[in-house]
Structure 1
Amino acid sequence: MGAQCGWLFPWVPVFLGCGIGLYFQIRWEPPVLMLWLAFLPAALIFFHARAGEVAGPLLAALGLICAGFGLAGMRAHAVAGPVIDFRYYGAIEGRVVDIDRSASDATRLTLDNVVLERMDPNDVPRHVRVSLHGDLQPLKPLPGMTVILTGHLGPPGGAVEPGGFDFRRHAWFQQIGAVGYTRTPVLMLEPPPRGFASGLTVTRARMALSAHVQSVLEGETGAFAAAIMTGDRAGMGADTLQDLRDTNLAHLLAISGLHMGLLAGFVFGTLRLALLLVPRVRHHWPVKKIAATGALVAAAAYLGLSGGNVATERAFIMVAAALTALLLDRRALSLRSVAIAALVVLILQPEALLGPGFQMSFAATTALVAVFERLSAARAGRKWPGWLGPVLSVFVSSAVAGAATAPVGMAHFNQASVYGLLANLVSVPVMGVVVVPLGVVAGLLMPLGLDWIALHVMALGLDWILWVARAVSDWPGSVRPVVAPPPVVLPTIAAGGLVLCLWRGRARLAGLIPVAVAVALWSQTQRPDVLIADNGSLVGIMTPQGRGLSRDQGAGFIADNWLENDGRGGTQDDAARRWPGTHRNRFAQADSTVGQVIHVQGKRAARLLTRCVSDQIVVASVDIAIDGTCRVFDPVTLGATGSVALWSTPGGLRVETASERSGRRLWLGAEPARPGLAILRFRSGQ
């Protein structure tokens, strides 16, 4: 442990994150008193120095874990708000606070100050999210505008399968208590207030800048430029976004370390050069520190305009730490600055730990800093050709960042980009040399009305990146689907990677062991034999050719997630052709390894099924009255269980439900189903 002295600070956010992860992993909600008491062991952090060289760090680690546990729990209670538990249809009034696009590529509004008819204001959610469907939308919503519409709302959906992504937890921390859609026009009740009255001044400025950029540059190029300059991706087409994801270039859309670092570096270098050109300033003023201050101000402005997501916050904190180090004549880039950024994000938003944005951002940054620190030490005293440094930097940074983020991306998005490294090698330099510098110049020329000059030159770089994304994504085998790993895999890989990056000495190679174990576990992943949607709208049966679905349309979001998690991909229509039985009049029937599965959709189909036998499994999208001893999953049962996975095992049928995996948590609201056979409704012939 003595060899690690002086290098332990980067482990602080790691153990804090362990405590946060522990809070989200347990299946019961700790009492508030327990959360407060969790902060008592955190005091061990302040006394670790007296405990000795070995016991001290261990006590500090224990204190950090307890602090993370309490911090996450307090945050969950702090964001608590009403969540509707029924299907609502009627008038929806609210103020627009955010505009984005849904997975189906529809414009989506997030509203606050919500008013719902015939509802007590105390029961109305703080925020609702509504997708705008239909072709006729005469109004273009703007942030701060108060609108009214007629739409459908319901509670945020549960996990599409047991152990899957928990949408209710995600919505809870965004304080979204209802989601839905409308097919009617959105009407304006009040325009956005002027000045600072609405509290959305920065948001309105972002959207105004985005609209201006897209008016100068049309099509996907303008939408790409707006995304890079303001973080507004609403104008990006679904096909373009998919091409960028398939080629591992989607990170160029997220305002993260690359963008923030390039912007701060460009402003710093430009200011420093301009000041050095003035002899009196060069000899009498602290030019380097003035340039660092200017770059810090520019980075802060970029953070405000970008919308401030986790990746942008992390990037700004790191840039701020590096520039502050320059002001204090300290080392600018180190693992300490990464740790400081992680600490700030985790303290402010503990739930960010679970998101792919946080995981990919810090995985890439930690790996890059660790690798370049060791490369700098290795090449000390060696003379390399001047041109070789930048070339190696681009190659190494792309390879290291790609390797560090690949497991996270594959686990969350179920795909691997085969040619992602090549696409990044020919795109990232263009982003650094052309796109970001010209974006800064455009911002400076905007008050003069001359920004179009820089924007049109910037468009050349953007068009190149978009062309690379389209071309590479069309190559055969450019994307390989990846099966969703067991829950233990990603934390195990992270543990091994952290040892490799943060530990000092040859013992860090021990980090390869958990990585190898995780890869072995991932390769042995077994998917459920049968999956049942939480509303009874879809059933999926695993076949030798892949999962077969009981419907060729409808429940598309659930279908896409199942197919992606299986590591097979494909469309819902293709999967419906693999259904190992018959489809007829909203009545699907097939044999599976867990017995005969019958799926009925709608009241008319449900009336056709009156009897069943013990080896049958009946899934219905409506309440069903049936005689027999089969297992029945209808809305009443599924309301308690959530989505269901069935497995055929040597010991018999194994049933796993989303409510069992999630447990009783704040964001679930209802009492969890009891484990075992009590979650099932067995119908008898009496």
Structure 2
Amino acid sequence: MLIAAQRGHLFPWVPVMLGCGIGGYFALPAEPADWMRPAAWGAAALLVLGARRAAESLAPLLLGLSLVLAGGALAAWRSHQVAAPVLSFRYYGPVEGRILKIDRSLSDRIRITLDRVMLADTAPARLPATVRVSLSADMPHTSLEPGKTVILTAHLSPPMGPAEPGGFDFRRLAWFERLGAVGYSRTPVLALEPAIRDGPAMRIAGFRAQLSQAIRTGIPGQAGAFAAAVVTGDRLGLDRATMDAMRASNLAHLLAISGLHMGLLTGFVFLVLRRAIAAVPRLALRIDGRKAAAIVALAAATAYLALSGGSIATRRAYVMAAVMLGAVLLDRRALTLRAVAVAAILILAARPESLLNVGFQMSFAATSALVWAFCCLRDAPLPRAPRLLRPVLALALSSAVAGAATAPIGAAQFNQIAQWGVPANLMAVPVMGLLVVPAAVLAACLAPFGLAGPALWAMGAGCSWILAVAARVAALEGAVRPVVAPAPAVLPLIAGGALVVILWQGRGRWAGLLPVVAALWLWAGTQRPAVLISASGGLVGVLEPGGRVLNKSGGDGYAARAWLENDGDGRLPEAAARPGPAGFEAELAGLRLRQLSAAQLRRRADPCAGADLVVTPGEAAAEGEACLVLDRNRLAETGSVALRNGPGGDLYLVTAAKRAGQRPWTGRAGREALRGPRLPGPGAGS
């Protein structure tokens, strides 16, 4: 009876079931055997056949289960389809390759991504498909351009694992991007060949770079860099201070070419063309203005997709815009949950790994919540607001609904809440829609005639206003509130409960609030690891009542920042450091811990004297250890390590390798065996 009552409203559940299968695949502790993929497809097909003969109340359940199996099989197929060599050792030497992409890292360094890679003394079968190299801060980059073959001397290593067990695994992201090595260079980049753009993708990349430079020339300063990012997705000119202000004010989404930009662009083109057709009576009587405008808007969206470089976020936005415009062409309502579901199905079918992408999660959370909220308001018997107030109220409601829908995801993924984000968006988003995007379209139309100057000036004024809002809001006291990282079950519980509220029909939908409340309760009771140890062995963090204490202020910077952010601690690593001249020592729950540098390890005759656990980036003796020693060799197998409080108050050890499991992107992970004495508590290596 419950399923029968949902008849006619089940289609939006299709991507949800696919997502459950995809999420289940990525949650597996080990890669399924090869025979399981065709078996899953076969089982899904049998369930579909069974659903055709099953009772009306049972058929949707069988179809849902078939979609779960299909989602898992699809994700498994995709992970093997993108397989490419990953560097298995640390490399230092010459690196030759063609520049695919130029961007900027979080540490404000210029990075280049290379394909057609050549490494010294490395067999072709072991060469990564692509590598990414960060350049020295004082290295000129104006001569770099996509398509140019270059050579440089670089340090390369495999993509790094999680900073802590269960944390963000960059290796998985790199695997699906076919990124086989990352590193840095302190030497100049030398050109071997001029830019050769032998395909559409490289020609578009070259045009993108030229257009970005032209925009930055026409609009000076950070406003020009912001404008280039909005038009082409190129953030090369944005400095660290601007990026920090955009994140702190919750305006960073304006830099990503996503649903907002694609929606503003297609909406502006659609509206202008439709009004232009309606203004010519003869033309309006001969063609359908809505459909003609939809076709041109779709062409504009396609051009924008190509121009922006076609990132995952932009492709996702394009699919959603195309679905909406397709609904107009087919005389269907454009903004419905069915249209959102179609877009999600297409994206998950093409790139199942998108489910784990924060952009995918936030985009569909915001879109689904907005469509549901406005449908509820449309059907509700509410008095109509005055005409002049409707745009203001719509904007305020949109910002509030989208902010509420994406807040848990943003807080979980970025460990912070921008407390003044809604007012900042109310001041910035209208300028983006009413000035920046129209001026960009006008500049594109006038540029061939050399008349883009006034449009660029207007675009620069709008960008300057947005940057001023970001800087002003970010400077407010308490603009950013740190948030502790939640347990793995929290976000799935929130998403599942919210989907029940949005998609289920009838009063039963409010039962979806129960898992949301349970997730928030779990989040509030999150307990962070008592001790964290980096994969290098050079950094240890011990949780004390006043916050986590680090053994040093420099080195392993990424791990140090990640630990403090996951703790919900807004301090910088320098403020959390408490180094000691003879090594770092701590005692908790009966465990005596000591961290020694490689030099301190060599000076000690017995590193275990008075310690139960010794951590070092050096290489300890293989035998005769009176305590558990995590040295360079062991940490190479375990990855980062955490010590957690067990039920009885004892500490137990968790490794990143065990948590990550044996997957295509983890390499040797999951096969480590910790030798030496066990720790107090439930046991080591769990």
TM-score range, shorter chain: over 0.9
Task: Name the residue aligned to 1:53.
Answer: 56
1:495 aligns with 2:496: yes
Task: Name the residue aligned to 2:273.
Answer: 271
User: Taking structure 1 as reference, are residues 389 and 136 closer, same or farther at Cα in structure 2, changes over 3 Å only?
Assistant: closer
Question: CA offset at residue 599 of structure 1?
Answer: 1.3
Pairing partner for 1:608 from 604, 611, 619: 604
Task: Name the residue aligned to 1:475.
Answer: 476
1:9 aligned counterpart, secondary structure: coil
1:58-92 deviations in Å (ceiling 9; x for gaps): 10110001001100011010111111111100000
Pairing partner for 2:580 from 580, 583, 586: 583
Question: CA offset at residue 49 of structure 1?
Answer: 4.4
1:665 aligns with 2:663: yes
Task: Name the residue aligned to 1:202.
Answer: 204
Pairing partner for 1:287 from 289, 297, 304: 289
Distance, in Å, in 2 between the alignment partners of 1:680 and 1:397 is 56
Check conservation: 1:434, 1:461, Cα contact below 8 A. yes
Provide the aligned length of Structure 1 versus Structure 2: 674
For normalisation by structure 2, the TM-score amounts to 0.95
Distance, in Å, in 2 between the alignment partners of 1:647 and 1:412 is 22
Give me the identity figure in percent: 50
1:83-114 deviations in Å (ceiling 9; x for gaps): 11111000000011111111211011111100
Task: Name the residue aligned to 2:414.
Answer: 413
Task: Name the residue aligned to 1:7.
Answer: 9
Question: CA offset at residue 309 of structure 1?
Answer: 2.5
Task: Name the residue aligned to 1:185.
Answer: 188
1:223 aligns with 2:225: yes
Question: CA offset at residue 344 of structure 1?
Answer: 1.0
Question: CA offset at residue 274 of structure 1?
Answer: 1.7
Question: CA offset at residue 379 of structure 1?
Answer: 4.5
Pairing partner for 2:162 from 153, 159, 163: 159
Question: CA offset at residue 652 of structure 1?
Answer: 2.6
Question: CA offset at residue 140 of structure 1?
Answer: 2.4
Task: Name the residue aligned to 2:674.
Answer: 679
Q: How does 1:382-461 map to 2 (within 5 A)?
A: 382-461=383-462
Q: Which letter maps to 2:614?
A: V
Q: Which letter maps to 2:79?
A: A
Q: Which letter maps to 2:657?
A: S
Task: Name the residue aligned to 1:313.
Answer: 315
Check conservation: 2:103, 2:236, Cα contact below 8 A. yes
1:547 aligned counterpart, secondary structure: strand
1:343 aligns with 2:338: no
For normalisation by structure 1, the TM-score amounts to 0.95
Pairing partner for 1:117 from 117, 120, 143: 120
2:112 aligned counterpart, secondary structure: strand
2:635 aligned counterpart, secondary structure: helix
Task: Name the residue aligned to 2:22.
Answer: 20
Check conservation: 1:139, 1:186, Cα contact below 8 A. no
Question: CA offset at residue 440 of structure 1?
Answer: 0.8
User: Taking structure 1 as reference, are residues 680 and 54 closer, same or farther at Cα in structure 2, changes over 3 Å only?
Assistant: farther
2:527 aligned counterpart, secondary structure: coil
Question: CA offset at residue 591 of structure 1?
Answer: 2.8
Distance, in Å, in 2 between the alignment partners of 1:379 and 1:217 is 48
2:85 aligned counterpart, secondary structure: coil
Q: Which letter maps to 1:493?
A: I
Task: Name the residue aligned to 2:652.
Answer: 654
Question: CA offset at residue 392 of structure 1?
Answer: 1.6
1:387 aligned counterpart, secondary structure: helix
Check conservation: 1:529, 1:593, Cα contact below 8 A. no
Check conservation: 1:594, 1:647, Cα contact below 8 A. no
Distance, in Å, in 1 between the alignment partners of 2:624 and 2:587 is 20
Distance, in Å, in 2 between the alignment partners of 1:482 and 1:197 is 45
Question: Which range moved further: 535-544 or 42-51?
Answer: 42-51
User: Taking structure 1 as reference, are residues 142 and 681 closer, same or farther at Cα in structure 2, changes over 3 Å only?
Assistant: farther
Check conservation: 2:83, 2:175, Cα contact below 8 A. yes
Q: Which letter maps to 1:559?
A: A
2:620 aligned counterpart, secondary structure: coil
Task: Name the residue aligned to 1:35.
Answer: 37
Distance, in Å, in 2 between the alignment partners of 1:68 and 1:250 is 31
Distance, in Å, in 2 between the alignment partners of 1:614 and 1:31 is 47
Gaps of 5+ in 1: none
Q: Which letter maps to 1:300?
A: T
Distance, in Å, in 2 between the alignment partners of 1:147 and 1:47 is 58
Distance, in Å, in 1 between the alignment partners of 2:64 and 2:598 is 55
Q: Which letter maps to 2:449?
A: L
Distance, in Å, in 1 between the alignment partners of 2:590 and 2:234 is 47
Distance, in Å, in 1 between the alignment partners of 2:346 and 2:202 is 24
Check conservation: 1:619, 1:634, Cα contact below 8 A. yes
Check conservation: 1:139, 1:187, Cα contact below 8 A. no
Pairing partner for 2:593 from 594, 597, 610: 597
Distance, in Å, in 1 between the alignment partners of 2:240 and 2:141 is 23
Check conservation: 1:613, 1:628, Cα contact below 8 A. no
Question: CA offset at residue 627 of structure 1?
Answer: 5.3
Question: CA offset at residue 135 of structure 1?
Answer: 1.3
1:654 aligned counterpart, secondary structure: strand
Distance, in Å, in 2 between the alignment partners of 1:54 and 1:349 is 32
1:114-165 deviations in Å (ceiling 9; x for gaps): 0001110111111111000141336621111111000100111010000000
Check conservation: 1:600, 1:606, Cα contact below 8 A. no
Distance, in Å, in 2 between the alignment partners of 1:530 and 1:179 is 28
Question: Which range moved further: 407-416 or 255-264?
Answer: 255-264
Check conservation: 1:408, 1:490, Cα contact below 8 A. yes
1:106 aligns with 2:127: no
Pairing partner for 1:629 from 620, 626, 629: 626
Distance, in Å, in 2 between the alignment partners of 1:436 and 1:47 is 51
Distance, in Å, in 1 between the alignment partners of 2:620 and 2:200 is 50
2:367 aligned counterpart, secondary structure: helix
Gaps of 5+ in 2: 680-686
1:177 aligned counterpart, secondary structure: strand
1:640 aligns with 2:637: yes
Distance, in Å, in 2 between the alignment partners of 1:681 and 1:191 is 56
Task: Name the residue aligned to 2:373.
Answer: 371
Question: CA offset at residue 218 of structure 1?
Answer: 1.5
Check conservation: 2:48, 2:66, Cα contact below 8 A. yes
Q: Which letter maps to 1:171?
A: A
Distance, in Å, in 2 between the alignment partners of 1:598 and 1:670 is 27
Question: CA offset at residue 541 of structure 1?
Answer: 0.5
Q: Which letter maps to 1:618?
A: V
Q: Which letter maps to 1:635?
A: R
1:414-442 deviations in Å (ceiling 9; x for gaps): 00111111111111111111111111111
Distance, in Å, in 2 between the alignment partners of 1:14 and 1:8 is 10
Distance, in Å, in 1 between the alignment partners of 2:678 and 2:401 is 57
Check conservation: 2:212, 2:228, Cα contact below 8 A. yes
Question: CA offset at residue 497 of structure 1?
Answer: 0.7
2:35 aligned counterpart, secondary structure: helix
Q: Which letter maps to 2:267?
A: G
Question: CA offset at residue 602 of structure 1?
Answer: 2.7
1:336-365 deviations in Å (ceiling 9; x for gaps): 111111111111111111111111111111
1:85 aligns with 2:82: no
Distance, in Å, in 1 between the alignment partners of 2:496 and 2:678 is 47
Question: CA offset at residue 683 of structure 1?
Answer: 10
1:592-648 deviations in Å (ceiling 9; x for gaps): 345222112234553335241474211111112385411111111111111100123
Q: Which letter maps to 2:39?
A: L
Q: Which letter maps to 1:48?
A: A
Distance, in Å, in 2 between the alignment partners of 1:144 and 1:46 is 50
Check conservation: 2:601, 2:607, Cα contact below 8 A. no
The two structures, once aligned, show a CA RMSD in angstroms of 1.8
Distance, in Å, in 2 between the alignment partners of 1:385 and 1:273 is 24
